């Protein structure tokens, strides 16, 4: 049987920028790539957790060339004005960028008829327009330098199917497919690759920051809390503390 995809060893020495690397999928991917010699750029809204990545990789004696980019306004991940500054910082540090992993975003839970339109706007600013703005900055760099760049985008099964009680979130993930499938058609002949990642439910802290039906409210994470209790206290321990023991 022919193995699917290409070996991760091919990424050795590549410069990969992961947004939304503070936790969840982005965090796990950062540790995996670091163990395979990838030059990492990580950004996110939780600076303390990003800095722990340095600490854990050093404690585990994992050789890693890593640049940390905390958001200039950590309370507002849809502040598009920071994207150009962050991109310039990446090029200044590594002199190149090969892959952008767009993983930043928020979830949302509410009944369709109760959702305020401002929630829809906020969700699209965070989950769609922020990613697209940064993608266009990096795309121009790839094209201007005639590079075979790669964009990996964290979508969701909600980007392919209708998910109840997550109308704004589901719509934002569908929108990502519209944008990036268009880019795939336009840029494929110029050496640009697109990978859309569509995971199902993932054990992470995403629901702790989920939006609800109003901008000033957040989702009660009773399901997540119950899930953690069923798994036991070990799952509630901070993974970073366990990693360096």
Residues classed as catalytic: 169
CA 233 to chain centroid: 27
Instruction: Give me the numbers of helices (H) and strands (E) for the chain, helices first please.
Output: 9, 6
3-state secondary structure string across 11-65: HCCCEEEEECCCCHHHHHHHHHHHCCCCEEEEEECCHHHHHHHHHHHHHCCCCCE
* Positive or negative torsion for Cα 93, 52, 13, 137: negative
DSSP 127: I
**In degrees rounded to 5, what are phi and psi of residue 105?**
165, 175
80, 130 in Cβ contact below 8 A?
A: yes
Whole-number CA gyration radius for the chain: 18
Q: How long a stretch of residues is the chain?
A: 245
The residue written with tokens 């991760």 in the block is 8
Sheet strand arrangement including 193-197: 65-70, 39-44, 15-19, 99-102, 150-154, 193-197
Show the tokens assigned to 164.
């109840």
């Amino acid at each position: 049987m022919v193995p699917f995809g290409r070996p991760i060893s091919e990424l050795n020495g590549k410069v990969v920028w992961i947004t939304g690397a503070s936790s969840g999928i982005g965090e796990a991917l950062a540790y995996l790539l670091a163990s395979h010699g990838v030059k990492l750029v990580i950004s996110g809204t939780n600076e303390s957790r990003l800095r722990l990545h340095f600490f854990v990789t050093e404690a585990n004696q994992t050789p890693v060339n890593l640049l940390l980019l905390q958001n200039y306004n950590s309370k507002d991940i849809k502040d598009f004005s920071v994207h150009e500054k962050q991109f310039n910082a990446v090029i200044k540090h590594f002199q190149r960028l090969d892959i952008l992993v767009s993983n930043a975003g928020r979830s949302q839970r509410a009944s369709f008829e109760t959702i305020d339109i401002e929630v829809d706007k906020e969700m699209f600013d965070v989950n769609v327009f922020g990613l697209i703005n940064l993608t266009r900055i990096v795309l121009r760099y790839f094209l201007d330098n005639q590079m075979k760049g790669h964009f990996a985008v964290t979508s969701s099964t909600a980007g392919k199917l209708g998910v109840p009680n997550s109308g704004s979130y589901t719509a934002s993930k569908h929108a990502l497919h519209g944008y990036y499938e268009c880019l795939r058609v336009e840029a494929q002949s110029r050496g640009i690759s697109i990978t859309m990642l569509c995971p199902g439910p993932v054990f992470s802290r995403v629901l702790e920051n989920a939006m609800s039906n109003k901008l000033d409210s957040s989702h009660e994470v009773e399901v997540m809390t119950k899930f953690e209790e069923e798994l036991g206290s070990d799952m509630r321990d901070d993974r970073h503390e366990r990693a360096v023991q």
